[in-house]
Amino acid sequence: MPLTLLATQGSKRVRLMQAARAQLRLPPAQVLEWRDWLAQPALLEHVLRQPGILKIEPPGDDPAAHLLLLQAGCRLLGRAPVRVPDHGELLAMDAWFAGFTSAMASLTAQLADLPQARVVNAPGEISLMTDKLACQRHLETHGVPIPALLGPVHGYEHLQSLLHAHDIDRVYLKPRYGSSASGVIAYRRNKTGRQQATTSAALQHGDGAARLFNVKRMASYESEHDIAALVDALAAQQLYAEAWLNKPRCGDSHYDLRVVTLAGQPAHRVARIGNRMMTNLHLDNRRGAAAGLLNAADLAALEQTAALAARAFPASHVTGYDLVVRHGQARVLEANAFGDLLPGLLWQGIDTYTAQLVHA
């Protein structure tokens, strides 16, 4: 069937999908630009007038689309419009999500009137996976093991009270609507009062307000002034805490795992190995073969837990899950509706994009 991508023309995701289609001798997918659809929703009805498949890719590859969603979210939340974010700036993520989830609701309504169109991942489930805290709660209610949740964090002082109430000194702090480790903080303190926040969010002080920028090189902040500014700035955009989960070791590094599920079954999997707290591959960490790191019990736990997580999203054909697997037990750190961007990673001899087409 013809394939339409709601995506950004020229993005890596589009290039990989078009290459996979060419390899299978299929015609190129039609691309509907996010910015064009947001401006003219009727374009979707035009491109899907014939039976076909729609795959929704993330809008973040296009700064213009990001800004449209951000400003729409400000209107929905009754806020004044925000300025244009600088490159990599973490700004009003909660307003962006309000715009994004509204767009996904509109897309759901449009698709209800287009029975000839089949969607790869349902917009409603994409929205749920993009709300990281709601997603973890959803997984938990479906029996999927996750790290213990401490819930929303309203600021630095609130964080300290949460740590005291739970009698712990180490947590991961995660933006509710972030992605790719943007703004994630590995926070720890000790009994002497020393504390450390390790993050890929670069903190800039200026004009009386802290500004945050997502960067590839992680930094560690140790002064209370900087850590408080960092936590407060992220909490203003919605932040939550989960219990610190030790990752298994690999030599002098540690790792977690990304598993892609297709039609509810685990397929591509890769270890993400690094010597810092965040192991996302775009942070210059390295890939490893999952089969070479996991024993039989760990591998069984990985596959069972990934399949269980996929069942929590029955209307999503291709999803990514980040897991920590130790001692025959697996916990899901995150579900990702756009978790198939793993260039060159093969499963049964084919990459993630070719696999989607073969198993469509």
pLDDT, tens digit, 9 for 90 and up, residues 194-212: 999 999 899 998 776 889 9
Residue 278's pLDDT is 73
Residue 218's pLDDT is 85
**What pLDDT tens digit does each residue of the chain (360 aa) get?**
899 999 999 999 999 999 999 999 999 999 999 999 999 999 999 999 999 999 999 998 899 999 999 999 999 999 999 999 998 999 999 999 999 999 999 999 999 999 999 999 999 999 999 999 999 999 999 999 999 999 999 999 999 999 999 999 999 999 999 887 789 999 999 988 899 999 989 999 877 688 999 887 888 999 999 999 999 999 999 999 999 999 999 888 999 999 999 999 999 999 999 877 776 766 667 889 999 999 999 999 999 999 999 999 999 999 999 999 999 999 999 999 999 999 999 999 999 999 999 988
- Full-model pTM: 0.96
Other Cβ atoms closer than 10 A to 25: 6
Query: Which residues does 55 contact at the CB level (< 8 Å), separation at least 6?
Result: 3, 4, 5, 6, 7, 17, 29, 119, 120, 121, 356
Decide: residue 226, CB within 10 A, 0-12 exposed, 13-18 middle, 19+ buried.
middle
Please calculate the CA angle 262-263-269 and round it to the nearest 5 degrees. Answer: 25
* Residue the block writes with tokens 């999927």: 144
Residue 282's pLDDT is 67
Q: How far apart are CA 261 and CA 238, in angstroms?
A: 29
Residue 252's pLDDT is 85
What separation in angstroms does the CA of 34 have from each of 53, 64, 107, 234, 285?
Answer: 16, 9, 12, 27, 30
Query: Which residues does 260 contact at the CB level (< 8 Å), separation at least 6?
Result: 266, 267, 268, 269, 318, 319, 320, 339, 340, 342, 347, 352
pLDDT over 70, % of the chain: 98
